[in-house]
Every structure is written in C-alpha cells, then in structure tokens.
Chain A
Amino acid sequence: MKLKKLAVLTLAAAMAAGTLVGCASNKKTETTGAEQKTEAAETTTAKAGDTAEAKGQIYYLNFKPEVADIWVELAGKYTEETGVPMKVQTAAAGTYEQTLKSEVAKKEPPTLFQINGPIGYKSWAKYCKDLKDSAIYSHLVDKDMAVKDGDGVYGIPYVVEGYGIIYNDAIMKKYFALDGAKAKSMEEINNFASLKAVAEDMQARKADLGIEGVFASTSFAPGEDWRWQTHLANLPVYYEYKDDNVSDKDVLDFKYADNYKNIFDLYINNSCTDPKMVGAKTVEDSMAEFALGKVAMVQNGNWGWGQVSGVDGNTVKEEDVKFLPIYTGVNGEEKQGLCIGTENFFSINSQAKEEDQQASLDFLEWLFTSNTGKDYVTNKLGFIAPFDTFAANEKPTDPLAKEIDRYMNNKDLYSVSWNFTSFPSQTFKDNFGASLLEYAQGGKDWKAVVDEMKADWANEKAMTK
C-alpha cells in the first residue's frame, strides 16, 4: 500500500512539474526574440518613463524575422538617444497579416507597421496615415515607388530588393573551360536562347562538372512556391503592362505565357530534382543545394545571401556569387536587367494617438538621415534604402546587394519593376502555384494552366472590388 501511495504521489508531482515547465517555456517562445524584446522594452520604458506622455511612444510590428534581434537593438539605441520609448515585436514568417490584424485591435496598437503594396493598402486603408507632407517622403529618390491613392501617400518603401538567377561563377568557369562548351564567358549569355543552350549542355555534362543539376529544386512544398507564382510570374505581367502602358488590369491576356513556359520548363527539366518530386522541396532546400555546390544556379533575391552564407559546409565563395537576369525569350531582352522593386512599405497608424504618430514619423526620419540610423540600415539590417540621404558608399556590402547595385546603376540595362504587388489576391497566387505544380508533375497541360490563370485573375479582381 505504501509503495502505491508513493508511486501516486510521484506521478502527481511529475505531472505538476510538467505543467509548470510548459508555462515557463511558453512565455519565452511567444514571439521571436520575446525575451530580448521584453528586456529592451523594460529598459527603454524605465529610462523614458517621465517623458513618455510628452514625446509619445512607438510600437513597430516587424515583418522580417531574419533581422528581428537587430531591430530590438536599434529600438534600444533610439530610446537612448532621444528618450522616446520604442517597442518592437516580430511576426513569425508568413504570419504578418494575422499578427497585425490581432495587434491593431488591442488597446496599444502598433504605431508603425508595413503593408505589401496597393493590395495591402486596400485592406488597411482605414489605418494608413497620409504622409505626403512628411520629411521622409521628400527624401524618396523615386516618388512613384510609394503607395499612393489620389493625392495622398500612404506607404513609403524602405528597402529596395531585387531577384534574378543567382549563379556560381566557379562552376560556370569550369564549364566554359570544357571542350565544345556552348559559350566561353558569361557575357555571351544575354538572352534566353543562349541560356537554354548552356543550361541544357551543362545538364548533359553534369558529371564532368561535379554537380547534380544546373538549377536548384523548383520548390513547391505548401507555402514555398512564391518564387514561381509571384516572382517569376512578374515578368510576363510586367511586359504586358508595358505594352498597354498601365500599372494594373482587370482582365489579363497573359500574352507572354509562352515566355513563362520557356523559363519554367528550363528550371524543372534541368534540375537536381525530378519534376514529380518538387512538391516536397522547400526554398531552404534549394538555397542549401546552391550553397553546397550541388547546383550552379538558383532563382532568388538578394535577401537570400543570408541563407547561402549560413549553410553548414557552404562551399560557395563570396566572389563567385553573382546575378544573371531572368531571360524568357522576349524581344530586346539583351537589355533586360534584374527585377528590382519592393514589397515592403512603411505605414503609420492613423488611428493611434497623435503624439505616437508623430513619434513614429520622427523615428523614420532619424532612421534614414542620422548616422547611427544609416549605419544600422546599411550594415546591420542590410537594406538598400531608396532615399537620397544615402551616399554612394553607404550601401550594404554583401555580394548580392553589390550585384543589385551594379545592375541598378548600369545605364545600358532596364530593370523589370515589381508588378506583382497588383496581383488580385493571395488566393489567386495560391491557385496559380497549385496549377503550376500539377503541370510540373505532368498532370495538366500548359493550355489549361494558362486558361485557368486568366479566368482566376478576372474572377479574383471581380471578387475583391
């Protein structure tokens, strides 16, 4: 009997201990960097307690989890310098909309947040303050990049990013040295025809080059298909908009569908992964394949540098990482550069207290004009900021950012602007991605993909009027 009692007591104690452990770890992992965030917030509020009412306070909801800790550090620095309390919270990857929706409804909503472009603006119009008279807007180099509605300016872009085909120069040089190579240098690859010839030849001789395929996996795991349904789809849409001289259309003709098919087929047929298996691959897998030298090319943007350099056993050298434009077979594409634009726009919460709104505006001004702010933006956050307050030597130094700069400043090439901010809805993008996956796996023909995409575009535009 005594043994039974002892056993029962031990079990009960273990269960109780278990629940307590659960409680403690829950608090810690609530949001990314919550520990540091609460510490930072505590120290900042402690220092600025008495002046809080007069100066207002800032609450920034961060979109990029990769730099969450840096933002917290930055907030601490700002409070030290100015005495204005600043709180930073980060939404986990892919949950920004959900987190913003719930945070905005609370008593102390975010005063500074971001929208993803004109579509995001439609959703948050009631909460975006008009910034056309603000100092930060006046510093914007290209004022057309901002999110506008009539005369008002509601979203200020804060980082310029670009994407294209990232390639490993070392592997390319190895190929150029082979007998009967289809090109002898990267300059010769300046349109789709030459890219296709080189890629297919490299794929045939992958054993000689020591790689498993030319292109990294065309990732299609759930939620990982944005490179194809958004980024790659930007190209045909850009060219169609350019032809019609518009920035949005209610009905898309998808005129450049065959061009899309050109490059998409090249990706899936000359890869290290069989087309039928792409449904299980993630973007991380693709970047790792590139980093480990298993493939020569991967389509992604300059934000991907962190993923390449951070892989264990990374064999790619910094000086070998370069960008190639995404060629699709359009006339005159020899002059095409990378796809450069932004999907990240700062907005100030118009429903927050007046002094908080002003405090947030002042913070933005400080971030992009003061020395500490600019240092953080360029070197720690790694942003290419589109403001005239940044001199030529104040740009990030990672290899991909330098490439973006090189392409942006090349007067002979035109950049493809980011038009996917006008895509009808997330549902449209998801449906297109699913369609592409079926095509890649051989379950759908291309004509069906095109027809469905056009019908879905028109349908989604109508449903979200």
Chain B
Amino acid sequence: MGERGGDASPIFIQEIWSASAHDIPMHPMPDDAGHAVKRGGPCPKTMDSNKERRTAMQKSMKRYFPIFVLPTLAAFTVAFLYPFIIGIYLSFTEFTTVKDASWVGISNYKKIFMDRNFINALIFTVKFTIVSVVSINTLGFLLAYVLTRGIKGTNLFRTVFFMPNLIGGIVLGYVWQLLLNGILARFGVTLSFSAKYGFWGLVILMNWQLIGYMMIIYIAGLQNVPGEMIEAARIDGATRFQILKQIMIPMVMPSFTICLFLTLTNSFKLFDQNLALTAGGPGRQTSMLALDIYSTFYGRVGWEGVGQAKATVFFLMVAVISLTQLTLTRRKEVEN
C-alpha cells in the first residue's frame, strides 16, 4: 500500500541516468539489462578468448547465484509475500487482531459493495488516475522533447525539473496543503470547502512531483532514436511534425510503456499525498482507494475483515489494469 511516487528498480534508474549522461543508446527495458549494444567501441579481442570468458562467467554465475539472491529473496518473502498471503486469508475472516480470526467466508466481500464510501473512492480514484496519467505523460513528453533540442542550460533544466521527485509524499502533501490554503484564503475558502479543490490540488501535486521523473525516461527514449533515421526522413522531405509522429513516437514506445505503467500504478495506489493534503477532504469525498481501505479498518467495529477484503480487491484491480496496459503497449513497440 502507498509507495512513494516514482519508486522503480535501482538497476533501471542507473541505466536511465547513464543513458542520458553518456548518450549510449540502451534499450530501457529491465529484462534487457546487461545486454546493451555498444556502438563504436574499441576493437573486440579474438573470438575464442571471448567465448572462454563468457562460459567461465556463466559457470561461476550459476554457482554463486543463490547466495547473492538469498538476502533479497528472504527480505521480499518476509516483508511482502508472507503478509500478502496472510492478508488474503484474513479477508475471509472476522478479526480484531491477527491472532483471533474467525472464518466468515465471502460475507466481507459482499459488505464491500454495501459501503458507499468504497464506491465513491473508486470513482474518485479512476477520475484522478485518468486525468493524472494524461497530463503527466503529455507534459513530461513535451518537456523531454524540448530538452533534447540542445538548447542552452539543458542539463540545468533537467536537474531542476527532476528535483520535486526527491521529496517524500507526506511532506509534499503538507507543504502543498499550506500553499493551496494560502492561495484559497484570498478567495475566502479552504481546501475542504469542496471536493473539487481537493481533486485539483491532488492533480497539481502529482504533476509537480512526477513530471520530472517521466521527463527523464522520455529523454532516454528520445535519445535512443537513431540519428540516421531522422536524417533520412529529413532528406526525404518530412516536416518536423511528421518526423515526430511517424518516427520518434513509435521508437519511443518502450518509454511510453514504462511511463504509462508507472503513472497508472502510482496514481491508483496513491496514499501518502492523499492523507497529507486532504485526509479525505470534506467527509470522505476526496478519499482515494488506499485511504478508504485504511479508514475502513478503524472506522467500524467488526469491519477489519472488510478492510482486508477491500485490499485484496484493490490488488486485483491494480494487477489487471497494469497487466492489460503492459500487453497493449508492448504490442505497439517497434524493434530497434
């Protein structure tokens, strides 16, 4: 529940930074890590010694692979897998604490749809996700496009635009709450005056935080477009817009996949900023799904199991949405 916006695997980030810093065209897909194709490097040594080196490396990898994976795997099991499985079990029970659960079957799941707060939170979350995904990706891509044209101060701009991503969710929420309340005070209202203010406040906050991060990914993707293709297109008489539409966007599709995935899941799972900015706003009107699950757990006696059931349903929703999105956009990717 509730990750900081912009968390992705460390390997991935390292690739992006090195890609944009050194302009080495690397395919920004996690499963392709380690298989970068270097262009124009020093002359490779003889074929035989390379082959020897590769098999020796593969042998030692196979031998030491478990030892290196074990610590992370253990942490993952304890901190994620175990609570997750227990959670699914608990969603079919009524419990006060983890130890005294009593089986009730699917009545918790039926109760979910009796709760109008859940439906409202779902609608709010979907609206928020759609608006955020569209705005963050559009603005992020535009910024990336502008900052790959080679204007003066490009590096400075890239750094500055990325910085908001470094601030944690809760702190960001409270700071923006102060800012927005200060602005709204001039109109004699506060953030909790209307759910609309809370909604747009959250949208502004998420945009401010994530645009820089998506911009970096798009920059890496744009730099991956081979210069020769653009040259060829220009020689053939294509306009700037046609180049953008027919060549750059299809080649940048892998970045679209990643950015779309990240913004989609981060917006859907948003918790920290929601809690800090409005804590659900007037009543529960600006409560998103994660906050609603949290409130259900402590809101009524005997509804802890329902909270757990909501969490399971939430997981299924996010899994289905992100897997669908990944398959759809992967199909559109053009081979480099």
Contact = CB atoms under 8 A, between A and B. Distances in A.
Interface of A: 97-98, 101-102, 104-105, 119, 122-124, 126-127, 220-223, 274, 276-280, 425-427, 430-431, 433-435, 437-438, 441, 443, 460, 463-464
B96 A123 contact: yes
B279 A222 contact: yes
Interface stretch (B4-12, B54-62, B121-129, B298-306): B298-306
A79 to B, nearest CB: 28
B279 A105 contact: no
A430 B282 contact: no
Given A124-B96, A222-B278, A274-B188, A280 B300 contact: no
Given A223-B279, A430-B283, A438-B282, A443 B192 contact: no
Interface stretch (B25-33, B97-105, B228-236): B97-105
B300 A425 contact: yes
Contacts of B193: 276, 279, 441, 443
Contact of A126 (B96, B191, B192, B278): B96
B99 A105 contact: yes
A430 B284 contact: yes
Contacts of A123: 96, 301-302
Contacts of A433: 283
Contacts of A425: 299-301
Nearest to B185: A277
DSSP majority for the A interface? helix
B302 A277 contact: no
B182 to A, nearest CB: 10
A421 to B, nearest CB: 13
Contacts of B114: 463
A140 B106 CA distance: 44
Nearest to B277: A222
B192 A221 contact: yes
A222 B189 contact: no
A29 to B, nearest CB: 14
A262 B107 CA distance: 43
A279 B192 contact: yes
Contacts, number: 90
B298 A97 contact: yes
Contacts of B188: 274, 276-277
B181 interface: yes
Given A276-B188, A277-B189, A460 B282 contact: no
14 contacts: A101-B304, A222-B192, A222-B278, A222-B280, A222-B281, A277-B188, A278-B190, A279-B192, A280-B190, A430-B295, A430-B299, A437-B283, A443-B194, A464-B302
Contact of A277 (B190, B282, B304): B190
Nearest to A441: B193
Given A434-B284, A441-B193, 12 more contacts: A97-B298, A123-B96, A123-B301, A222-B278, A222-B280, A274-B188, A425-B301, A426-B299, A427-B295, A430-B284, A430-B299, A460-B300
B301 A119 contact: yes
B170 to A, nearest CB: 14
Contacts of B298: 97-98, 426
A101 B97 contact: yes
Contacts of A276: 188-190, 193
Given A425-B299, A426-B298, A441-B193, A126 B279 contact: no
A221 to B, nearest CB: 7
Nearest to B97: A105
B261 to A, nearest CB: 28
Best-buried of B114, B117, B280, B299 by chain A (most CB within 10 Å): B299
A275 to B, nearest CB: 10
A76 to B, nearest CB: 29
Nearest to B100: A126
B69 to A, nearest CB: 23
A435 B100 contact: no
A460 B115 CA distance: 10
Interface string B298-322: 1111111000000000000000000
Contacts of B295: 427, 430
A122 B301 contact: yes
B192 A280 contact: yes
A221 B193 CA distance: 11
Contacts of B99: 104-105
Given A276-B189, A276-B190, A277-B190, A105 B300 contact: no
Nearest to A426: B299
A119 B298 CA distance: 12
Given A123-B96, A280-B181, A434-B284, A427 B191 contact: no
Contacts of A220: 192
Contacts of A434: 282-285
Interface in B157-204: 181, 185, 188-194
Contacts of A460: 300
B333 to A, nearest CB: 35
A464 B284 contact: no
B185 A437 contact: no
Contacts of A278: 190
Nearest to A123: B301
A180 to B, nearest CB: 32
Contacts of B301: 119, 122-123, 425, 464
A429 to B, nearest CB: 9
B288 to A, nearest CB: 14
A279 B96 contact: no
B294 to A, nearest CB: 9
Nearest to A223: B279
Given A101-B96, A101-B97, A124-B96, A279 B190 contact: yes
Interface in B97-145: 97-100, 111, 114, 117
Nearest to A433: B283
Could you say which of A127, A276, A431 has the most chain B C-beta atoms within 10 Å of its C-beta?
A: A276
Contacts of B194: 443
A220 B303 CA distance: 26
A124 B99 CA distance: 13
A117 B121 CA distance: 30
